[in-house]
Amino acid sequence: MSPQPPGVPGPPGAPTAHAPLSADDPREIGGYRLHARLGAGGMGVVYLAHTPGGRPIALKAVRDEFAADPEFRRRFAHEVASARSIHGLFTAQVVDSGVDAPTPWLATAYVPGLSLQEVVRRHGPLPVRTVLLLVAGIAEALQAIHWAGVVHRDLKPANVLIAEDGPRVIDFGIARAADATGLTGTGLRIGTAAYMAPEQARGLAVTPATDVFALGALAAYVAGGVLAFGDGPESAALYRVVHEAPDLSRVPHDLHELLGRCLAKRPEDRPDPAELITAARAHPVMGARPEFTEGWLPRGVSSELAGRDGAPEPAPGPGPGSGPGPGPGSGPGPGPGGHAPTHAQPTLAAASAASAASAEPATGPEPRRTRRGRGGRRRGAGAALVVAAVLLVSVGGAAYYFLDRRGDPARDPSGSSDSADSSDTSHQPHTPSPRPSSKPSSPAPSSEGAYVPDYTDAELTAPDPDYEFDLSAGKVVPAETADWYLERTDTEFVLSDDSDAFVAAGYVLSPADCVRGIETEPVTELPFDDLADERPFCVRSPDGKSVVIARLVEAVPGEGPVTVVMSRHNQGG
């Protein structure tokens, strides 16, 4: 199952919150009380729940489209039965399921930690020794998965959670159930292009070697910070997977041989998980103790994990429809937990979100700082307040790294991508209403077609309003540090002074469309509601020589993380 990316958690040590249940969410499934929404993906919604004895679990409810498909139900029951026989130390244990329920569901042990995707996004590429330990741990997880007769099919950084004692692989095998239905031909992607093996990309039979290829692509990303087969449109990434050699130029040379073997085009040329474990343990950088002992993670990552060492508490008092229910009274459960973690693709663990519903109504909105001497337009309930306490709290925030996408001539120069998934936000799309600009328009470029790409499809997350998007550099920076920026509040984007913007009516936007739109239908406000469903919008620089085309991937309610994908285009000549 490939869920959507929710954003990143708050600063290390900050309390972790979850998105509250909406009016449409059930309050109980299979006898388990639901307490929060953790995320959603192509196959369903994931909730935080607790066993009758109080142990936290992640409960995944299948989408109605799949629930109505008899072939999916048959496959789902088979895959769940196989998954329950997987007991690897580096996997998240399946603890219960409801394969015959009106809405099929699956419950797994709650895993406190961050997804590997978020670790790299926030802390950058990991050291060689850390990568080798991860390869060995994930390979051991694959051994347990394959021993049960299951092929993961969607191994990627978002499906690997990082705990203090090593990785945990999640979502194993469930993708096969959806793969067999007719729904996969209607826009739902099973598997992730950047990590698919050539045989999987070509629609051929998958084997355990398919997961080894994905592990090689995962390790290359973790070690180098970029995708081995590039990003951009899914079709372009799949072509490179099948026909081109991986780009390991940013991967340390010490890893090239091992990862090159994993990424062999022919399945029979790849090592099996046992060989990977042996090779990783024998690598010279591993030292005398190739184990997940203290120091296996960089200090910044381990410090963040250490700040999340308390179990999530059940919501006080009985909720609507909660009741005691017939939930299981025993069975394996999650170990002593941390605060609910955040995952780029949360399927078996928690997403970070600001829980506005948990705040006391009488306290009012928390004051937020405004720009100092920059003339930025901050709106909302706290727009006029400048409170030093908020600034002091923000000093403890972590540095957030952006995913530096590699350039590729095969990419669409408009910066659009047909591989983007819809995000799990609470916003409903509606057509944006253009608002006339109160300032003179920036000069139009002399030629609409004379734009060349700069950075392309940079996926960036501003964790809270103390960070903004630097449009010139294509990265997230502390607020009030960029000259050409896109500020984020809890409800909208705020443009830098003398910038122009345009929101597309459809879902394709080129630099030429951007310029025409700004000249005919400029907007000065960019509410998140107007940008739902990843509707593209663009921002033109004050000098009129550059445009950034962007899509809002997710905006967590309250002052939670905001994730965008953006591409910059510069006027040539």
**Per-residue pLDDT tens for 494-514?**
998 889 999 998 778 889 889
DSSP string for 528-553: GGGGGGG--EEEE-TTSSEEEEEEEE
8 A C-beta contact, residue 515 and residue 506: no
Q: For 92-98, what is the mean pLDDT?
A: 90
What's the pLDDT score for residue 470? 92
pLDDT at position 175 is 59
| pLDDT per position as a tens digit, 367-384 | 333 443 344 433 333 333
**What kind of fold does domain 19-109 have according to CATH?**
Phosphorylase Kinase; domain 1 (3.30.200)
| Least confident among 135-144, 195-204, 321-330 | 321-330
User: d(Cα 483, Cα 479) in Å, to the nearest integer?
Assistant: 10
- Give the chain's radius of gyration (CA, Å): 23
Q: Is 154 labeled as catalytic in the residue annotation?
A: yes
In the prediction, which pLDDT does 44 show? 83
Tell me the torsion sign for CA atoms 9, 13, 15, 16: positive
Q: Tokens 């990303």 label which residue? A: 221
**Cβ within 8 Å of residue 209, ≥6 positions away:** 197, 267, 268, 270, 272
Mean of the per-residue pLDDT values of the chain? 74
Banded pLDDT at 177 (limits 50, 70, 90): low
Give the side-chain half-sphere CA count within 13 A for 523: 22
- Residues annotated within the binding site for ATP are 60
Domain spans of the chain, in order of start: 19-109, 114-180+188-304, 451-571
Question: pLDDT tier at 447 (50, 70, 90 boundaries)?
Answer: very low
- Whether 352 and 16 have beta carbons less than 8 Å apart is answered as yes
Give the position of tokens 């729940």: 49
Binding site, by residue number, is 60
Burial per residue of 286-324, b for 16 or more beta-carbon CB atoms within 10 angstroms, e otherwise: beeebebeeebbbeebeebbebbeebbebbeeeeeebee
Mean pLDDT of 43-55: 87
Q: Say what percent of the chain tops pLDDT 90.
A: 35
Q: What is the pLDDT of residues 462-472, one digit of tens each?
A: 888 888 999 99
Task: Give percent above pLDDT 70 in the chain.
Answer: 68
Q: CB–CB of 331/31 below 8 Å?
A: no
pLDDT of the residue at 1: 40
Choose the catalytic residue: 69, 96, 154, 179.
154
Q: Which residue has the higher pLDDT, 323 or 204?
A: 204
* Residue 210: closest CA among 134, 156, 277, 248: 156
Residue 433 to residues 392, 549, 567, Cα–Cα distance (Å):
38, 19, 24
pTM assigned to the model: 0.53
Please state, in angstroms and rounded to a whole number, the distance separating the CA atoms of residues 500 and 502.
7
- The DSSP 8-state label assigned to residue 449 in this structure reads T
pLDDT at 248 over 60: yes
Assign 287 a pLDDT band (cuts: 50, 70, 90): confident
Edge-to-edge strand ranges of the sheet holding 526-527: 475-478, 467-470, 485-488, 492-495, 526-527
What is 317-356 written as a DSSP string? Answer: SPPTT-SSTT--S-S----S--S----SS-SSSPPP---G
Question: How does residue 557 score in pLDDT terms, banded at 50, 70 and 90?
Answer: confident
**Residue of higher predicted confidence among 1 and 102:** 102
pLDDT over threshold 50, residue 426: no
Structure tokens at 183: 């729904």
So what's the pLDDT on residue 142? 96
- Judging by DSSP bridges, how do beta strands 166-169 and 28-29 pair with one another? unpaired
Is 90 exceeded by the pLDDT of residue 251?
yes
Q: What is the DSSP letter of 304?
A: H
Q: Which CATH class is domain 114-180+188-304?
A: mainly alpha
The pLDDT value recorded for residue 89 is 86
Please give the average per-residue pLDDT across 268-281, as a whole number: 96
pLDDT classification of 145: cutoffs 50, 70, 90: very high
Q: Does pLDDT of 12 surpass 70?
A: no
Q: How far is CA 66 from the centre of its chain?
A: 23
